[in-house]
Structure 1
C-alpha cells in the first residue's frame, strides 16, 4: 500500500512538472524580482532595485533590519545621490485577486525615503512606482512574485488538487480514549432446564441467531419420564452452549447463554484530570479497530466507581450494532467532544504546510496558486482556527497542498528572508 501511495505521489509530481508553469520569483527583499528567464534587475548602492529613467533613478528596497518590512528608497540624478527632500516616491501594489495597496514614502534623517506602512507577506505583487525628482515625473512597472505558481485547471484536477472557501466553523475540545464493548445488562439470558434429566436434542450452536420462543433443546424429565422443550427466553445470539446430547441437565446449570447484541455498551476509560471535564450528554465518536468504521453516539453516564485494574473512571455510552460487527469484548477507540467552540474562520488540517518559517496555506485565483502565511489558533482532529492571513471566501487548497509547495520550491524561488 505504501508503495502504491509513493507511486501515486510521484505521478502527480510529474504531471505538475510537465504541465505546471511556475510564476514564482526570488526577490530576496531587493524589491522587484522578475521571471527567471528575464535579465536580473540592476542593483543600487544599498542593494535595492535600481530604477532608471532620463538621467534620474530611484533605488527601491524592502527594509527589514530592525523594522517590520517597509519600502525604502534613495534618489539619484546623473548617477549621484540627491537629498530625500528633492523628490517623492509612491509604490502601488496589486496583489493576486486584484487587491490594491499604496505605500507613500517620506524623507528620513538618514537621507532615504521610507514608508510608514508595512508590506505584508507574501511579497508577491505587480509593482507600480511613481516618483518625482527635482520636478521630473517618473514611472515604472514590473512584476515581483514569490510563493506563486500557475497550474492549468485540468492538470490540477488530474493531480487531485481540491479547494474550498475559507469561512466560519467550529473547533471541538476533544479527548481521545480507549474502551471496551460489553453486552447491556438485562439483555443477557441463561437458558435453564426446568427439570433435571438427560438431554435428548440440542438445536442451536454458538453464534446462531435465535428468536424468543424458539425451541433450543429437548430434555427428558427424571420425574415424569416425559420429554419437554426448552425455548429461548429472548431474541439474540447464542454466546455459549454448556451442554451436549446425552448429558444430564441439572437444576441450576444453564444449557445456553443468549445475548441481545442489537445494542452494546461502550465502557470508556478516562484517566487523571480528564475525568473532571467529561459529563453525560456530550457527543462521542467510536471507532472500530478492525476496519476503522465509526459510529456516533452520546455519553450516557459516568460511573461512580473506579476501575480497579486501571484506576480509571469509566464513562458509558450505547451504540447500535446494526451490522453485527461490533463484538462484545472488543477494544475500541473513541473521541469524546467536551465542548464545541465557534470560530470566525477555520481550514482543514490537510490545508496546512510549513513554508519557509511560516505556518501557511495556499489559495487559488484562476489558475494561479499563492502562499498565504497564517496565524493559527485552536485546533481539533480535523480543523484549525485561522486568526489572520486569510479573508472569508478565499479558495484554500484543502487536498494535495504539498504538491503546490513542491512546485514552488522546485524552482528555488521560495525566497529566504
Structure 2
C-alpha cells in the first residue's frame, strides 16, 4: 500500500517535467515539433480573418468577371430525355395554286422574310381570265336587270303594267343575281381576294389574265419549287410553289419511355440544352401522345419553345430535362460561381474592397443553377464567371492577411 503515493507523485512530476521542457524549449530557442507549432499558431474564434481578394471595378471589368445577385428560386428534379427541334406544325404553310397557268413573275427567293398577304409571285392564266370576264359580264347583266325590275315595280304599283310583267321581271332579276353570285364565288375559289374582285371593273384589261400568289402566313421562305415560265396547275403539273416556315416558335419532339410516362404531364416546364449554346431555354409540354410506339415502347411528347432569335434550328439534336418535381429554395446561385478551395465549396462575394471567399453548403443542383443551403444570403452579389482567376489570386502569398 505504501507504493501507491510514490507512483502518483512520479506521474505528476513527469507531467510537470514535460510541460517545463516545452516551456524551456521556447525560452532557450530550441526547436518545437511542427505539429505543436502549427496548433499553437492557428488563430481561433474572432481572430480568424476572412479571405479577401482586393480588386476594384476596373480590374473586375478587365478580368471579365460577371456579377450577379443571389436570389430565391426554384429547383427541380428532372427527367432527361433526348429530343429533336422540329417546326411548329401550325406555323408551316405550303403555298399552292388553285388554277392552271404560267409563272410570269417571282418576287421572293429562298431565305426571304415575308409577311402575311404579301405577293410572292404572279401567274398568267387563261382560266382566271375567263373567270374574271364571266364575273364582269354577270355583274353588268345583274345591274341592268335590277334597274328594269325596279322600273317595272314602280309601273305596276301605278297600275301602268300588268302584275304578270312585274313578276316575270322579278324572276329575271333573281336569276341574274344568282349568276352574279356564282361568278364571284368562282373567283374566290381560284384565290382572288375580295378587294381584288371589287377593283376588277376599274382594272386594265391586261390585268385580267394575272393572278397574284400571296403568303398565307408571316415567316421565311424555306423552299421555292418553280422558276420563271414554269407551267403550274392541274394535269400532273407542279401545284406547290413555296414553303413558308415561321420559326418564331418551334417544337421539341421527345420520346419518353412507358416507365417514365406517368410522371410527364401537359404544361410541365422543360429545360432545353445543346452543344454550342451556353444558356438553356425553357419550353413547355403541349402534347403527350396517348399511344405507344409498338417497336420502341415510347410515347411522343411535344414541347413548345419560343425562338424569336432563331437559335433553335429544326433538325438540331437537344437534351430535354423535364421538371417532374419542383420546390422553392431560399437562395439559388449559378453553378459557375462555385469553386473548390482547400477541399471546401466556396463562392466569391463582392465587397467594397474586392471579393470575399465564402464557404457554402450546396443543396440540389438544377441544370445551371444550384441551391445554397448555408453560407450565402439572398441579395448578396457574387462573381459568376471567371471565378478561377479569383481562386488563383487567393492562393498567392499575402492574399489572406
Moved more, 350-359 or 272-281: 272-281
Deviation of 1:258 (Å): 3.8
1:7-406 correspondence runs (5 A): 47-49=35-37, 60=40, 93-94=45-46, 124-125=48-49, 148-154=51-57, 156-157=59-60, 158-161=62-65, 166=70, 168-175=72-79, 177-185=82-90, 187-194=92-99, 196=100, 199=102, 201-207=104-110, 208=112, 209=114, 211-212=116-117, 214=119, 216-221=122-127, 227=209, 229=211, 231-232=213-214, 234-236=216-218, 237-244=220-227, 245=229, 247=231, 249-251=233-235, 253-259=238-244, 261=246, 263-272=248-257, 273-284=259-270, 296-306=282-292, 312-319=298-305, 322=308, 328-331=314-317, 334-363=320-349, 366-367=352-353, 369-390=355-376, 396-406=382-392
Inter-partner Cα distance in structure 1 for 2:125 and 2:364? 66
Deviation of 1:315 (Å): 2.3
Inter-partner Cα distance in structure 1 for 2:279 and 2:347? 30
Q: Tell me which structure has the larger Cα radius of gyration.
A: 2
Deviation of 1:378 (Å): 0.2
Inter-partner Cα distance in structure 2 for 1:171 and 1:363? 22
Alpha-carbon distance change, 275 to 149 in structure 1, aligned in 2, over 3 angstroms: same
Q: How many residues align?
A: 287
Structure 1 contact 373–389 (Cα < 8 Å) conserved: yes
Alpha-carbon distance change, 228 to 332 in structure 1, aligned in 2, over 3 angstroms: farther
Which ranges in structure 2 are unaligned for 5 or more consecutive residues?
Answer: 1-28, 132-207
Deviation of 1:404 (Å): 2.7
**Secondary structure in 2 aligned to 1:406?**
helix
Inter-partner Cα distance in structure 1 for 2:226 and 2:285? 39
Structure 2 contact 128–211 (Cα < 8 Å) conserved: no
**Secondary structure in 1 aligned to 2:367?**
coil
Deviation of 1:410 (Å): 3.1
Deviation of 1:386 (Å): 2.3
Alpha-carbon distance change, 328 to 163 in structure 1, aligned in 2, over 3 angstroms: closer
Alpha-carbon distance change, 411 to 204 in structure 1, aligned in 2, over 3 angstroms: same
Structure 1 contact 200–219 (Cα < 8 Å) conserved: no
Inter-partner Cα distance in structure 2 for 1:371 and 1:322? 39
TM-score by length of 1: 0.53
Inter-partner Cα distance in structure 1 for 2:279 and 2:390? 32
Q: CA RMSD for the aligned pairs?
A: 4.6
**Secondary structure in 1 aligned to 2:46?**
strand
Alpha-carbon distance change, 189 to 304 in structure 1, aligned in 2, over 3 angstroms: same
Alpha-carbon distance change, 366 to 48 in structure 1, aligned in 2, over 3 angstroms: farther
Alpha-carbon distance change, 201 to 159 in structure 1, aligned in 2, over 3 angstroms: closer
Deviation of 1:266 (Å): 0.6
Deviation of 1:312 (Å): 4.8
Alpha-carbon distance change, 231 to 219 in structure 1, aligned in 2, over 3 angstroms: same
Higher helix fraction (1 or 2): 2
- The one-character-per-residue Cα deviations of 1:348-391 (angstroms, maximum 9, x if unpaired) are 21221112222223445553755443332101122212233445
Deviation of 1:199 (Å): 2.0
TM-score by length of 2: 0.54
Structure 1 contact 166–392 (Cα < 8 Å) conserved: yes
1:30 is matched with which residue? none
